Amino acid sequence: AKEIHQILDEEPVVSEYQLRHWQWIASYYMCAIGDVYRGAMPSALLLESETIISQKQDVFADSATFTDDEFLIYEALQQQSALKIKDIMDILNRKNIFPVIQKLIDKGILILQEEVQEVYKPKLTRYVRIHPNHHTDEALAALLELLKNARKQKEILLSFFQLSAREKKPITVNQLVEASGASVAGVKALIDKGVMEQYYLQEDRVVYTGEMNDTRPSLSDAQQKAFDGINDAFESKEVCLLHGVTASGKTEIYIRQIEEYINQGKQVMYLLPEIALTTQLVQRLQFYFGNQVAVYHSKYSNNERVEVWNQVLQQSDKAKIVIGARSALFLPFSNLGLVIVDEEHEQTFKQQDPAPRYHARDAAIVLAGYFGAKVLLGSATPSIETYFNAKTAKFGLVEITERFGKVMMPEIELVDLKDCYFRKKMTGHFSDALVQAIAEALMRGEQVILFQNRRGYSPVMECMTCGHVPECPQCDVSLTFHKHKNQLRCHYCGYSMAKPTNCHHCSGIDLMTKGFGTEQVELELKGLFPERRIGRMDQDTTRGKYGYEKIIDSFKNREIDVLVGTQMLAKGLDFDNVSLVGIMNADNMLYHPDFRALERSYQMMTQVAGRAGRSEKRGRVIIQTYNPNHNTIRQVTEGDYFGMFKEQVYERKIYYYPPYFRLVKITLKHRDFDKLKEGAMWLYKVLDQTFDLPVLGPEEPPISRIRNEYIRTILIKIPQDQPIGGVKNTLRKILHSFESVPQYRAVKTAINVDFY
């Protein structure tokens, strides 16, 4: 038996449900349980160790042999028995203390130990009150008498009484200092005299103090019908999809649903893609639910996240509703009643790297199952998988086909770029039709959004003499030109170089840019509308905690007339003055080499278009494309979600893709090209021989080298109705034997189940 050295937590900081759920994630998404723990817990909940120094028991020290420093430490240890490194620095009044400590260790007097503690630091505020000795009236009178001649101190005390009477709550030292005009030292003198005492209370770091209103707007008929429909679906189903066109008022329906569950004393989790988690939405919820709303977000500090964690753990009223990005899924819920997954089609719900590569929507459905909680998925453009599940009655389905308040769906027009270039009706990348529409909208005092699915100035730079294209030295990708910084930059590894004046290959000076990004759109726009205020929203302009928010606010406040941006613009934003949306080029999305390319193009265009005309006036959308007859573009213009769905589902069925097949992707990486190729082939052959399933590969991905690592992928397709457990077990074994082949030991493998 050993002595207990330290008790780490008096109560567990994780719940039984969490452990069960994390185990499921590790098993389903095929990763180590440690990976899940690391991804799940805010790092401030983890423990950090600190060295402490204590005295060895039972030693008799001959203090006569001590130097002065040694004696000071020894003496301090007589009184405290353990000291931290920084205590000793204080005692000796210097930083260089280790030689002395080492001497005492050598003499067998001291030992070093580790003490473990939470990294989380609660936020403490210092309060003052009258010392309990003076709580009776007589004692108080005596006290004032005593302080008769200490005028300043008496004033402080009187200020304190006034302040307490007015505030009717505990008074902080700072408040008292401010109210009395005294100094902190003055207050401290009263504390030293035993007249007052100080104490600490833990504060919440994040508190909502804004406006609140508990009268809800009444639901429209369509909303009411949808609300009732959801309740009906929940009678027999665990999951319900709310498919409502953009601006149909889905958020208002979520709010009503949330209310139902918190009134039953349940917890509610509201998941959103990171980028859609704006102040706009949080405030909309806080407006109704005030401080019952907690936010869990990667941009929050570690301490703030632990605070939310503890509130959820304690089932506090302050976290009845947790609104968060995918990682909110890992919070210690114990009484979950409802999960909302808004914008459920968003691919950012799927974690890519590092493991666990989980899908937050799917993992949330499993989590809800433990509690018998309901799951409401919402989107104007549901993922094919979810809509399929709804159509096959696995999920409930509720649809809203009209916008709230008789607002019309925007009118979508196509501009054929082939024709425009041919007839010279283009200025840069702007067709005459788009320029005119922008001019008209601005003239009426309305705002405009322009969407281009690429950042930077142009993705390719080419030498007109020899055709050389500058590429990243570490990745297999051309460098993107950023004009503002006059740099070529790699969007995969961050490599950058100054823009060359000559071709590195033939020294030619005729370097041209090809393709275009948001930066170029912005610059051309400034040329077309020099007197207008133009903003840009992409990864390059939204760094920092509030970078994104700042742009949204200034657009909302109409300090920006035209906002140019990437898909960041598509995420559930509600601007009432935007009457025109322009999609600069629909084609680069359509021809992405990915089985989800058309689904995504539809979603992206429909969502961006959905930002137009969200209040009375009908919005207008202009899509510039070389392929006006493309099926997907037609489906977007007609708002034909179901047409898109049917076409995609048909293709997925014949080509063995989700929702009919589950995909397990294995990625292999190595710095040695030949070894990687050989290894990938070895693995592919074994998999193909072992499984009676379609195994594809080893494939060279479109970007086949990143940060000097070559990449190959292998894809296994498993029919949806086949139990996946057996396949995974076999796969684990095969990967294990792959790793034990000596020449492939250094090949890195990553498994992505249900990859997006």
The count of chain residues that interact with Zn ion, using the rule CB under 5 A, is 7
Between residues 306 and 490, which has the closer beta carbon with respect to Zn ion? 490
* Of residues 209 and 215, the one with the C-beta less far from ligand ADP: 215
Residues 670, 709 contacting (CB under 8 angstroms): yes
Residue 294's binding partner out of Zn ion, ligand ADP, none, with CB under 5 to 8 Å set by partner kind: none
Q: Which is nearer to Zn ion, 103 or 707 (CB)?
A: 707
45 scored as a contact of Zn ion (CB under 5 A): no
CB of 605 to ligand ADP, least distance (A): 16
Q: Residue 249 binds what, of Zn ion, ligand ADP, none (CB under 5 to 8 Å, by partner type)?
A: ligand ADP
Q: Which of 339, 472, 623, 714 binds Zn ion (CB under 5 A)?
A: 472
Site for Zn ion in 554-593 (CB under 5 A): none
Q: Are 560 and 534 in contact (CB under 8 A)?
A: yes
Residue 490 partner contact from ligand ADP, Zn ion, none using kind-dependent CB cut-offs of 5 to 8 Å: Zn ion
Which residues are at the interface with ligand ADP (CB under 6 A)?
217, 219-220, 223, 244, 246-252, 404, 574, 614
Could you say which of ligand ADP, Zn ion, none residue 459 binds, taking C-beta under 5 to 8 angstroms by partner kind? none
Provide the minimum distance between the beta carbon of 209 and ligand ADP in the complex, in angstroms, as a whole number: 22
Question: CB 474 → Zn ion: shortest distance, Å?
Answer: 4
Cα angle value 444/447/450 (rounded, 5°)? 130
Q: With beta carbons less than 8 A apart as the criterion, state whether 450 and 521 touch.
A: yes
Length of the chain: 756
Least distance to ligand ADP, CB of residue 615, Å:
7
Check if the beta carbon of residue 717 is closer than 8 Å to that of residue 693: yes
Between CA 711 and CA 671 the distance in angstroms is 9
Closest CA to 504 of 460, 458, 462, 456: 462
Judged by CB, which is closer to Zn ion: 101, or 475?
A: 475
Angle at the Cα of 209 (from 206 to 213), degrees rounded to 5?
125
DSSP state string for 18-80: HHHHHHHHHHHTT--HHHHHHHHS-GGGSEEEEEEEEEPTT----GGG--HHHHHHHHHHHHH
For residue 535, give the nearest of 563, 569, 507 by alpha carbon: 563
DSSP 520: H
474 binds, among Zn ion, ligand ADP, none (CB under 5 to 8 A by kind): Zn ion
Q: Of residues 79-98, which lie at the interface with Zn ion (CB under 5 A)? A: none
- Shortest separation between residue 414's beta carbon and ligand ADP, angstroms: 24
Interface with Zn ion includes 490 (CB under 5 A)? yes
End-to-end alpha carbon distance in the chain? 52
> Among residues 749, 740, 744, which one has the least CA distance to residue 675?
744
Name which of Zn ion, ligand ADP, none residue 250 binds, using a CB cut-off of 5 to 8 Å depending on partner kind.
ligand ADP
Residues 283-312: x/- map of binding to Zn ion (CB under 5 A)? ------------------------------
Q: Which is nearer to ligand ADP, 220 or 541 (CB)?
A: 220
Q: Which residue has the tokens 């509201």?
A: 270
CA-derived radius of gyration, the chain:
32
Least distance from Zn ion to the Cβ atom of residue 708, Å: 9
Tell whether residue 466 is among the known ligand binding residues.
Answer: yes
* Minimum distance, C-beta of residue 613 to ligand ADP, in the bound complex (Å): 11
One-character DSSP codes across 612-648: S--SSSPPEEEEEES-TT-HHHHHHHHT-HHHHHHHH
Check whether 472 is labelled as a binding-site residue: yes
Helices (H), 383-514: 384-391, 417-422, 432-443
- Letters for 492-521 (x = contact with Zn ion by CB under 5 A, - = none) are xx-x--------------------------
Gap between the Cα atoms of 322 and 282, Å rounded? 10
Residue 31 labelled as part of a binding site: no
Alpha-carbon distance of 24 to 4, in angstroms, equals: 33
Peptide bond into 382 cis (omega under 30): no
State in angstroms the smallest separation of the CB of 643 from ligand ADP.
21
Structure tokens at 324: 């968060």
- Residue 181, contacted partner among ligand ADP, Zn ion, none, CB below 5-8 A by kind: none
Instruction: Work out which of 294, 475, 609, 731 binds Zn ion, going by CB under 5 A.
Output: 475
Q: Is 493 marked as binding a ligand? A: yes
Q: How far is the CB of 496 from Zn ion (least distance, A)?
A: 9
> Strands 430-431 and 336-342, how do they pair?
unpaired
Spatial distance between the Cα atoms of 33 and 26, rounded to a whole number of angstroms: 5
Candidates 295-303, 407-415, 452-460, 469-477; binding stretch for Zn ion (CB under 5 A): 469-477
The least CB distance from residue 250 to ligand ADP, in Å, is: 3
Query: Has 420 been labeled as part of a binding site?
Result: no
Q: Which of 50, 616 has the CB closer to ligand ADP?
A: 616
- When the beta carbons of 304 and 343 are compared against ligand ADP, the nearer one is 343
- Which has the closest alpha carbon to 195: 151, 135, 137? 135
CA–CA gap between residue 211 and residue 339 (Å, rounded)? 26
Binding-site partner at residue 323 among ligand ADP, Zn ion, none, CB < 5 to 8 Å by type: none
Residue with Cβ nearer Zn ion (361 or 669): 669
CB of 374 to ligand ADP, least distance (A): 19
Binding residues for Zn(2+): 463, 466, 472, 475, 490, 493, 503, 506
Binding residues: 463, 466, 472, 475, 490, 493, 503, 506
Binding site for Zn ion (CB under 5 A): 472, 474-475, 490, 492-493, 495
